[in-house]
Structure 1
Amino acid sequence: MTNRLEGKWALVTGATSGIGRATAVEFAASSCNLIINGRRKERLDNLKQQLETEHSVVVETGCFDVRDREACSDFISQLEHPIDTLVNNAGLARGKDAVYDASFEDWDEMVDTNIKGVLNMTRLISPRMKEKNRGHIINVGSIAGHESYPGGSVYCATKHAVKAFTEATKKDLHGTNVRVSMVSPGLVETEFSNVRFHGDDERADNVYANLDPLTGEDIAEIIHFIANRPPHVNIMDSIVLPVSQSSSSMVSRDE
């Protein structure tokens, strides 16, 4: 397979764990230089060292919260490299309470991270891509952006927003060579459920009990595939589920 990422630069948000970390590893293995973002500096530094040692790529880190527009702007304004691929991966779920019981704080965190974080990074980087008439924006969505489920009112709403934003962004960039894509995973075993349930390990483990869920590496391979298509190919979305899942709420578990 032709490697079109060699020597390019990719910026991956939420790279300290799960899909984001796996994506950084996958891109580095293709000799793609990286800018990795996250809020946990030690994890960023360790990943930078690992990738530079194992793959002989250049890795820069950006320890900031994508919810903080000023921090995003300050970091991006100092970048010296063109961003060939932006992977908007940072996101989270908080709680699974019914709309009438849910926490406003959980809602705010999901809206600010899942929607505003994607908006911030895209708004700040897309003008550079448009000016150069090249680049690729890849947003990590969710099956929850295609169908809603009880207990996920605001999380589903944020991922529906990502889907709509992805489609509108492609249309805003119509006539340019900038590509816009999304990948929409189902059940992926990462820190996702632990974060959703505020550190309740038992409840998080039960989400993936008696089934074979997707891994961060599974989704990273798909993101890499999307990014590595020929310049005239734009994959708008890819819905990816484990075999044991048929919808957001239909999951088959082994007895």
Structure 2
Amino acid sequence: MKVGIRGKLSAVLLGVALVPVGVLGAYGIYRTTVALRRTALEAAQRAAEMKARRVEDFLQTTQEDILFLSLISPVRRLADALGEEDTLGVTRWREVVGNILGTFSQQRKVYRRLIFFDDEGRGLVQVYSDGRQAWLLRGIMDSTLGTSGPLEYNLDVSDSERRKRGKLVASILPKGVLDRVQGGGLEWGEGVALVHPDGEYLAKMGVGFRGKGLREDLPGSAVEKVLSGDAGVTSVGGDIVAYAPVLLFPKSGRKEAGYWVLVERWPEGVMFASAREYRRT
């Protein structure tokens, strides 16, 4: 015997009427709690993506800074002096450019080193920084301190006749970038890190990131997700981990040009506080 749609609907309504009110209430709380947890996870992912965009904006600004520095008059004057083999002019403009780069680095606090190399590879002007203090290295040209950082910009410097006379090199200090982007500090229990695609930490602050790399702090399955180059969120050992890629050359729009990963970590109790509070009421 076939049962029409009206008959089926009547049976459903009768079934609902027979369900105890307490069961319906518990089910409603469950559904609302699930929705709140989902909302919290989505909010965590959006927060990581927004912070990653702020890092990209800052990196774009640093690229524009270096272009500006390569075009300022004292740098061009130094290039002209090199082309004219004017020893006194080179000495004079080295000092001027050094003071400018030193002041610039001290104000920005995101450059590990700013170096003007001549065409022979000598570091005529060398400014270094640890993120707190910048200093101008004087008297040494044939060698440089340390190695290049995880992100380095190189721009050719030409003289007034558009002949290449050297290059300006800027190494970015990831910790300085993270400090500037994080700004007002961290919430209770929060941790944030910039991670290289190989899993090594470039910079970190807060809790949850104790090792030298992500593989020391997260299980393999979570590490694979975080380093995939996609944005997402996952649960790890009672914590929520949200992540998003940071394009090193944002205007290109291509991860193939290079990327880092911004990772944030919170205790589940913090992220799901609203859901638990609702369950208790």
With the length of structure 2 as denominator, give the TM-score of the two structures.
Answer: 0.23
Higher share of residues assigned strand: 2
Larger radius of gyration: 2
- In terms of fraction of residues, the more helix-rich structure is 2
